[in-house]
Structure 1
Amino acid sequence: MTSGAASTASRHARFHWLNDVWPWLCAASVALSLLMLGALLALLLARGLGHFWPAALEEVTLRSGETLAGEAVRDVALPQQAGDERLYFTGNQDIAGVRWRWVTVDEIAERLQPDDLIRLERSPWSDFIGRLVAIEENDQRWEGDAAWQRLTTLLALPASQRQVSDLLLTTVDGQTLRQPLANVISAQMPNAMPWWQKATTWSSGVWRFLSEGPRAANTHGGVWPAIFGTVLMVILMSVLVTPFGVLAAIYLNEIAHQGRLTRLVRIGVRNLAGVPSIVYGVFGLGVFVYGIGGSLDEWFFSDTLPSPTFGTGGLLWASLTLALLTLPVVIVATEEGLARIPEAQREGAVALGATRLEMLTRIVLPMAAPAMLTGVILAVARAAGEVAPLMLVGVAKLAPQMPIDGDFPYLHLERKFMHLGYHLFDTAFHGEDVQAAIPLVYATALLLVLIVLMLNLTAIFLRHYLRRQRGSEC
């Protein structure tokens, strides 16, 4: 008895220790998750939004006597402790043939930041970094500070109202260039800017990133078409997946006989949630695009063949494919919400004379609405970040037309569209200058996270509103 009592006391002591430690382990896990999320957001904010802040330009003189100008990007340690190497963005690709330059730090004899260094964003060439000598406009010529003031005045005007002008430019090593003003997009003199002017330039750059289309193989410009395409596709996907997911969950939980077949169906639905997304893309390509879309072209658009209308990737097929991908998520979340509704609620409604349909529509479904929205939240979070299936069923690197315009029927479901996830992938791996695209990759990733967060918060607020109205739990 003594040894048994001692053993029992020892077990109780161990369980008591676990009870004391377990909350701390859970709290540490939550804290670690929040720290990792905060670190991710901080990285995206610093690298993404920091790209639009006007960076200082340096004029560097090497020990060999060579002079170059550019923006210092980063330092990298050389192997075998041979010192550091610094990467400069020098631009001027049409003059030097390259726009990036690695310089050994020990070779630098002098570094200056002259106020008169300018940076011009041009099309089609890369940025120009150097000095503005003069502006020639018809029979007039501006030099020095007057030339810079004239340049900023012209760039502030719409492109159609600008005078035909030429810029006379010179690099820090003495090479000259005549640049047509029509090919200049923006101009900066960052070393001479006060902080408030840099903040204004930063906000203008962020706005142009959000409101303009991409340029130069997605390494410049904005992402507005991708934002619009992402939000529109997610909305269409939600409209398509919600009714089918809810109806399937109602059938499985409220109508179907709870036997072996129903259990097998539930297992199949849960397994579908783990199928790789590219498999859904292949299914959408074969069934929706080539199957249904090809048949629609033969029946209704035969006069445009062999040019396909619905027999190619588009907004409709992408939305249907992602609706099919997220359907198991909505079914499972809704069914779990239905299962948590007390049986007494159903029995009480029937006892008061309600039909089965009235009981479902007026009692059960309103109480399960928060669970339905939970499923939609999870579906939106997954669909907004998917890339692999969209590459097969409708996403484009650059869509020539928006899916919505002023022409009837206004919403063109057959058109291809841009997506932030695919834009992020294409910019990072398929751009002409991956190094120049890295800041835009961070900015696009931050924007995608914020859009998913905004869509999720909208659904969460609606869920809490319904929960307060019905007093139900999700």
Structure 2
Amino acid sequence: MKSWFKSGSPWIWMTAGAVSISLISVIGLLLLIAWRGLSFFWPSAIHQFDVQQNGQNAVVIGEVYDREYVPTTRLIQAGVDTKGFKGEEIERLLIKTGNREYVDLDFRWILRTDIQTQTKPSGVAVFERSKNGNFYGFVSQIIEDGKTIDNPSNEQLEELIERAVNFNEEALDLQNGPIGSINYRLERIRLEERALELKEKLTPEDSAAFNQERKELKANYLELEKELFNLRKLAERDFVIVKDMRGEQVRIPLSQVLDVTFPNDMSFITKAGRFLIQVSKFITDDPREANTEGGVFPAIFGTVFMVMLMAVIVTPFGVIAAIYLHEYAAKNAVTKVIRIAVINLAGVPSIVYGVFGLGFFVYMLGGSIDELFYPEASPSPTFGTPGVIWSALTLAILTLPVVIVSTEEGLSRIPSSIRQGSLALGATKAETLWRIIIPMASPAIMTGLILAVARAAGEVAPLMLVGVVKMAPTLPLDGNFPFIHLDRKFMHLGFHIYDVGFQSPNVEAARPLVYATAFLLVSVIVALNITAIGIRNHLREKFKSLEH
């Protein structure tokens, strides 16, 4: 045993065991997040409960969202009648009932002892709506263009819903497209006219031209507005009559319905197809209902756009700084202090960078840009307010030490004989760096970029101060000149998780979205890293011959 310890084998096994435990823990955590997040999109069975509480009978229709066991003594102390139940614990079910405009809460707890009967009725419909959440009930009639149809088929209902959805999408595209462009151009005309007024260069000819263009735009706006109102009127034509759990007949406009499903009548294959549809809608749709419903596409776009912009900014600065420190700077006390400062910057809390970004980039630099180039927009700030460019710059400074250290380590691994041989053949030092040293160090540069992307994509605290918001009405990329709007605020997956998990007015509805968005954020980071790793491996193979 003593010789075994001296051989070092125990430490090898201990290290391997620690690595295995860490790997299993990470994989287990990811699997847990994936299961809790993706299971939300699986069509759940709809139950009908006949409940008797406090001597009153009621019918509850909804999904079983969660279940737990509560000590009987605790329920008795809370004044709950357990009806002579002798067990130590009573099962309690959390039911999502929806129909929130007709009930106090769209989630309610039901004790197993209060349930008289529990069934899965056939024909119960789940309506996904643009507001007020889901609606559960039995379809009685549909009203198509004023005509009542009793006991309609599922296909008839789905066709009318698809019709209304298509008209709503056309109206939204019209509002965000041509109408949005007209509004954007009208605002630009106002700013251009004000800029000429401030410079005292506004001539009667300029005013006439502005007024003429404004008149033409408003005429086009009125035509598009008529088309918009017509689309909305067509979408609001039909209705569906649904019998809810109270036994009441509820009239629901199909213009508010996004989709309808009948989970209790679905086969496994149908549910699997429905699951894929729901996941794709989560990725491609905009959020609704205070981010507790809908999709997260603006957050995905904002995260990827900000990270790519940060990478474009941090890479050249980090590489140039590393090249100077390693290739040109003298080995003296000042250089040592700079290296220590770079290493210490990597340990500064991210919120400190956020405060610095808010004070320096937003208020000082952005405010100065507004004074010099956008005085016509005053007092409304253009760049003197949090935006995606300031977020990218803040995270670029945050991740700069990682890129510098990684690049410098790559430069230090290149033998000095290669530099000397290049110089001996007549190449200048700049040519040696550009043609030999930087290509050989490119894998290390990509390694630093991978680490920078991994950290930047998950940061939230600094972004809350310099650009990220709960809901961004427009993306920082659109069809209006200059097409890329770096001054706009944006959404971020990390902040979306924080907002849904801790700021949501409907905690139970938001909980599955926290897991789903967290899994999506991890997937986005992995995708970005895999892309960067692929580029690094390609560069490593491409410049491998330089090492020999």
- The bucket for the TM-score relative to the shorter chain is over 0.9
Does the CA-based 8 Å contact 2:146-2:238 persist in structure 1? no
Is the 8 Å Cα contact of residues 273 and 329 (structure 1) preserved in structure 2?
yes
Q: Kindly tell me: are residues 133 and 233 of structure 1, through their superposed partners in 2, closer, same or farther at Cα, counting changes over 3 Å?
A: same
1:150 corresponds, among 156, 160, 167, to 156
Contact 1:154 1:163 in 2 (8 A): no
Report the Cα distance in structure 2 between the residues aligned to 1:250 and 1:386, rounded to whole angstroms: 28
Choose from 54, 73, 76 the match for 2:43.
Answer: 54
Secondary structure of the corresponding residue to residue 102 of structure 2: helix
Counterparts in 2 of 1:102 and 1:11: CA distance versus 1, 3 Å: closer
Distance 1:210 1:82 in 2: 41
Per the TM alignment, residue 428 of structure 1 is displaced from its structure 2 partner at its CA by: 1.1
- Mapped pair 1:346 → 2:338: no
Show the counterpart of 1:7: none
3-state DSSP of counterpart to 2:453: helix
- The 1-side partners of 2:146 and 2:162 are apart by 22
Q: 1:170 aligns with which of 243, 246, 252?
A: 243
Partner amino acid for 2:418? Q
Distance 1:11 1:195, change over 3 A: closer
Say whether 1:214 aligns with 2:287: yes
Superposed CA deviations along residues 206-249 of structure 1, whole A, max 9, x for unmatched, are 11111111111001111111111111111110000000000100
CA contact (8 A) 2:120 2:264 kept: yes
51, 57, 76: which one aligns with 2:68: 76
CA distance in 2, matches of 1:440, 1:389: 23
CA deviation string 1:71-129 (max 9, x = no partner): 00111121343312111001111111211110111221211001111111223212111
Tell me the amino acid that sits aligned with residue 139 of structure 2: L
Q: Which amino acid aligns with 1:419?
A: H
Code of the aligned partner of 2:97: T
CA RMSD of aligned residues (A): 1.6
- TM-score of the superposed pair, with normalisation by structure 2: 0.82
Alignment of 1:354-393 (within 5 A): 354-393=427-466
Moved more, 387-396 or 63-72: 63-72
1:286 alignment partner, one of 359, 368, 374 = 359
Counterpart mapping for 1:269-308 below 5 A: 269-308=342-381
Q: Is the 8 A contact 2:4 2:10 kept in 1?
A: no
Q: TM-score, normalised by structure 1?
A: 0.94
Separation in 1, partners of 2:251, 2:536: 61
| Match of residue 43 from structure 1 | 32
The residue correspondences of 1:74-223 to structure 2 (distance < 5 A) are 74-79=66-71, 80=73, 81-144=88-151, 146-157=152-163, 158-159=166-167, 160=231, 162=235, 164-223=237-296
Judging changes above 3 Å, is the alpha-carbon distance between structure 1 residues 127 and 11 closer, same or farther for their aligned structure 2 residues?
A: closer
User: For 1:147 and 1:139, how far apart are their aligned partners in 2?
Assistant: 18
Once the two structures are TM-superposed, the CA of residue 163 in structure 1 deviates from its matched residue by 6.5
Q: Contact between 2:131 and 2:288, CA under 8 Å: does it hold in 1?
A: no
Residue 26 and residue 302 in structure 1: after superposition, are their counterparts in 2 closer, same or farther (change >3 A)?
same
Q: Who is 1:15 aligned against?
A: 6
Matches of 1:242 and 1:163, distance apart in 2: 52
State which drifts further: 194-203 or 184-193: 194-203
Write out per-residue CA displacement over residues 419-441 of structure 1, whole angstroms, 9 at most, x where no aligned residue: 11111111111122121011111
**What SS does the aligned partner of 1:78 have?**
strand
CA distance in 2, matches of 1:414, 1:125: 33
Write the distance in 1 (CA, Å) between the matches of 2:40 and 2:330. 59
Q: SS at the partner of 1:121?
A: strand
* Secondary structure of the corresponding residue to residue 384 of structure 2: coil
Do residues 458 (structure 1) and 531 (structure 2) align? yes
Mapped contact 2:236–2:253 kept (Cα < 8 A): no
Distance 1:123 1:255, change over 3 A: same
Match of 1:259 in 2: 332
Match of 2:59 among 63, 67, 72: 67
Q: Residues 362 and 384 of structure 2 are in contact (CA less than 8 Å); yes or no, is this contact kept in structure 1?
A: yes
Deviation at 1:30, TM superposition (A): 2.3
Q: Secondary structure at the match of 2:117?
A: strand
Q: Secondary structure at the match of 1:66?
A: strand
Cα distance in 1 for partners of 2:521, 2:11 equals: 36
Map of 1:250 onto structure 2: 323
- Offset, 1:13: 5.5
Aligned to 1:5: none
- Output the CA distance in 1 between the equivalents of 2:39 and 2:4: 54
Structure 1 position 295, deviation (Å)? 0.8
Provide the aligned length of Structure 1 versus Structure 2: 461
CA distance 1:255–1:190, shift in 2 (3 Å)? same
Q: 1:114 to 1:261 in 2, by over 3 A?
A: same
Contact 1:155 1:162 in 2 (8 A): no
The whole-number CA distance in structure 2 between the counterparts of 1:382 and 1:250 is 23
* Residues 296-337 of structure 1: CA deviation (Å, up to 9, x unaligned): 111111111110000001111111000010000100110111
Q: Using the alignment, how far apart are the partners of 2:253 and 2:130 within structure 1? A: 10
Q: Name the CA distance, whole Å, in 2 between partners of 1:258 and 1:115.
A: 80
8 Å contact 1:219–1:436 — kept in the other structure?
yes
**Aligned residues with identical type, % of pairs:** 47
- State the partner residue of 1:327: 400
1:109–1:154: structure 2 CA closer, same or farther, 3 Å change rule?
Answer: same
State the alpha-carbon separation in 2 of the partners of residues 215 and 444 from structure 1. 14
- Code of the residue aligned with 1:38 in structure 2: it is I
- In 2: Cα distance, 1:46 partner to 1:142 partner: 41
CA–CA separation in structure 2 for the residues paired with 1:331 and 1:12 = 44
Rounded to whole Å, the distance in 2 between the matches of 1:60 and 1:12 is: 69
**CA shift at 1:12, angstroms?**
5.8
